[in-house]
Amino acid sequence: MSKDKTKTGKKGPYIKGGVIPKNEFFAYCFGGFGQGMIYAVMSSFISDYYTNVLFLPHIFILLLMLLARVWDAINDPMMGSIVDHHTTKRGKMKPYIQFACFPIAILTFLMYWAPDGMSKQSLMIYCAFIYVLWGMSYTIGDVPFWGLPNVLTGNSEERGQQISFARTFNGVGSAIPTVMYLLIGYIMPGDDVATSKMKYLIMAITASVIGILFYFTSSMKVKERVIPPVVAKNRTGKSGLYRILHCKPLVLVIIMGVLSSGRYMMSAAAVHVSRYAFMGVNPNNIYLILQICSGGGMFISMLFMPLVMKKFDYKKIVILTNLVGAGASVVTTLVGWYTQNFYICAPFIFLQCVPLGVMNTISYAMICDSLDYMELETGYRDNGMGSACQGFINKLGNAIATAGISLVYILLKLDPSKIVGQSAKVSEAALLTTTQRFGMFSLITIIPGVSLLLCTIPVFFYNLSKKNMTEISKELNERRQVLSQVSESETNSNENSKY
């Protein structure tokens, strides 16, 4: 039961029948673009930096990724609860985003700046401290940012379009650090450790500064219109976490997100695959083609998602695309094993990455619809907690991917510090056995394919169709109008009583 202030602004809504003005609609999208840049600097490159540049122990990286997520299991819901229970004079979501920007920028720089002369133990402590602190600062901005669509509009279709466009911009933003990495690699072609450190530092500084500017500016341009329902404290004695865990559609989306963690391998493992999976090919060329194929499959699907989401149920979209992606990963695996030729694998990598764009977009819309269902059933709307769930899923997925990479290094008995040896070469695929090279290749074939199949299972039980959501949105809007009338009546009554 929330109030919905439907002033549309001078430029009119971007979506027909909606309330978000065009300038705000795209301001939020560009905020997603900036956030994508920032997050990709960490998610796509930190495992390679820790493993092949700093030479940190594999078991340390694995434990750091997993233990940091244990803290996130506490930290993310905590941030969601803060957002749900506090509203500042400047808004419910926006102030947290603005506050988080400066710490994120500083910590992104420190993440890729390793002080010289530190012992291995001191370096591990430093990296662990910065990594965990970065995750906490990112959460402060991430939870309210992706909760914003819930307060920008009460229209389910418009909200879905806003999320879809913003996620597409976010995906484009996440590709910018990759482009930077490639350009810097061609400008600074050396593979020695000192050069690799400088490449990562330049990329981190540039991407974080540009990304933060977009991220911060967007929060200044958008307007919060929908006031979440205000209910008596402890009316039911149930916490926000309890409501989240007892909202069946939301739980299914969370399970889907956790089981789809293997998809993050496509970005997190790309550098590792380009270094070690194929002989006789320049690693930079492998990385470039891999990014074109994976990024192309993902971005094309994201571009079409606004149209597809309008016409089809989310459930059908997820199941169909995931099955196609899983099938393509099987073909990629077989072709890679029998031909040992990366170029022949490229078209199938493109196809298996189509579901990545779908999942990156549709999971947010499914969570928002689940929150509508929760509000209808309970009278509560835990926007912050819902956004925290998605944030935790994303970080958990990247952590599992990074930990999985370290585990594969351990299982393959692959030690980059020994490969570097006297030559100061970071990439030496020729020194690996066939089994080791195929093991690295499986990071972007077998693991993502199995993950796509597994995450399809809970979606079969997700029953919020477009027809259901139309009915839910209609009933919620009627409730909000009644609440608005009651609130105005109480306000007038209180003013009259003064006289």
Q: Where are the alpha helices (DSSP H) in 148-192?
A: 149-152, 156-187
Mean pLDDT of the 77-83 span? 83
Q: Average pLDDT over the chain, rounded to whole?
A: 84
pLDDT at residue 318 tops 90: yes
**pTM listed for this prediction:** 0.77
When divided into structural domains, the chain yields a total of: 1
pLDDT score at 422: 41
pLDDT at residue 391 tops 60: yes
pLDDT score at 490: 54
Helix (H) or strand (E) holding 3: strand 3-4
Residue 9: which pLDDT band, with cuts at 50, 70 and 90?
very low
pLDDT at residue 66 tops 80: yes
pLDDT score at 368: 86
433-451 tens-digit pLDDT: 889 999 999 999 999 999 9
- Domain for residue 9, yes or no? no
Around 43, how many Cα atoms within 13 Å sit in the side-chain half-sphere? 26
- Domain for residue 495, yes or no? no
349-360 tens-digit pLDDT: 999 999 988 998
Distance CA 52, CA 200 (A): 12
Helix (H) or strand (E) holding 71: helix 58-85
Q: Are 123 and 56 in contact (CB under 8 A)?
A: yes
Residue 379: which pLDDT band, with cuts at 50, 70 and 90?
confident
Number of other residues whose CB lies within 10 A of the CB of residue 225: 19
Distance CA 248, CA 470 (A): 19
Distance CA 208, CA 38 (A): 5
pLDDT score at 383: 81
Distance CA 159, CA 369 (A): 9
CB crowding 319-351: b at 16 or more within 10 Å, else e: bebbebbbbbbbbbbebbeeebebeebbebbbb
- Domain for residue 493, yes or no? no
Of 190, 245, 204, 189, the closest CA to residue 43 belongs to: 204
Around 336, how many Cα atoms within 13 Å sit in the side-chain half-sphere? 28
Q: What CATH number is associated with residue 121?
A: 1.20.1250.20
pLDDT at residue 397 tops 70: yes
pLDDT score at 339: 87
C-alpha 459: how far from its chain's center? 19
Distance CA 149, CA 160 (A): 8
Tokens of 460: 């079969």
pLDDT at residue 116 tops 80: yes
Distance CA 319, CA 247 (A): 21
pLDDT score at 56: 93
Residue 478: which pLDDT band, with cuts at 50, 70 and 90?
confident
pLDDT score at 418: 75
Residue 161: which pLDDT band, with cuts at 50, 70 and 90?
confident
pLDDT score at 4: 45
Mean pLDDT of the 415-420 span? 75
- Domain for residue 327, yes or no? yes
pLDDT score at 485: 61
Q: Are 36 and 172 in contact (CB under 8 A)?
A: yes
For residue 375, the enclosing domain spans 18-226+239-476
21-50 tens-digit pLDDT: 888 999 999 999 999 999 999 888 998 999
- Read off the DSSP letter of residue 13: B
- Domain for residue 489, yes or no? no
Q: Is 297 exposed, middle or buried (0-12, 13-18, 19+ CB in 10 A)?
A: buried
- Read off the DSSP letter of residue 227: E
pLDDT at residue 5 tops 50: no
Mean pLDDT of the 86-90 span? 77
Distance CA 130, CA 109 (A): 10
Considering only 147-151, 237-241, 485-489, which range has the smallest mean pLDDT?
485-489
Distance CA 153, CA 4 (A): 7
pLDDT at residue 246 tops 60: yes
Which residue would you say has higher pLDDT here, 120 or 391?
Answer: 120
180-236 tens-digit pLDDT: 988 888 888 777 788 889 999 999 999 999 999 999 999 899 888 876 655 445 455
From residue 132, how far is each of 108, 111, 178, 335 by CA, in Å?
A: 12, 10, 23, 39
127-136 tens-digit pLDDT: 999 999 999 9
Q: Are 464 and 317 in contact (CB under 8 A)?
A: no
Of 411, 21, 91, 37, the closest CA to residue 212 belongs to: 37
From residue 92, how far is each of 97, 135, 147, 406 by CA, in Å?
A: 10, 21, 10, 39
pLDDT at residue 157 tops 60: yes
Distance CA 463, CA 315 (A): 8
pLDDT at residue 6 tops 50: no
pLDDT score at 137: 93
pLDDT at residue 487 tops 60: no
Which residue would you say has higher pLDDT here, 409 or 74?
Answer: 409
Mean pLDDT of the 412-424 span? 69
Location of structure tokens 């571009």: 303
Location of structure tokens 């935790």: 392
What percent of the chain clears pLDDT 70, i.e. is strictly above it? 88
Considering only 153-162, 222-231, 453-462, which range has the smallest mean pLDDT?
222-231
- Domain for residue 108, yes or no? yes
Helix (H) or strand (E) holding 369: helix 354-378
Mean pLDDT of the 56-64 span? 92
- Domain for residue 488, yes or no? no
277-301 tens-digit pLDDT: 888 778 888 888 998 888 888 888 9
Helix (H) or strand (E) holding 260: none
pLDDT score at 483: 65
Can you state the percent helix, strand and coil of the chain, rounding each to 5? 80, 0, 20
Around 51, how many Cα atoms within 13 Å sit in the side-chain half-sphere? 31
268-277 tens-digit pLDDT: 899 899 888 8
pLDDT score at 206: 93
- Domain for residue 487, yes or no? no
pLDDT score at 60: 94
Helix (H) or strand (E) holding 390: helix 383-411
Residue 256: which pLDDT band, with cuts at 50, 70 and 90?
very high
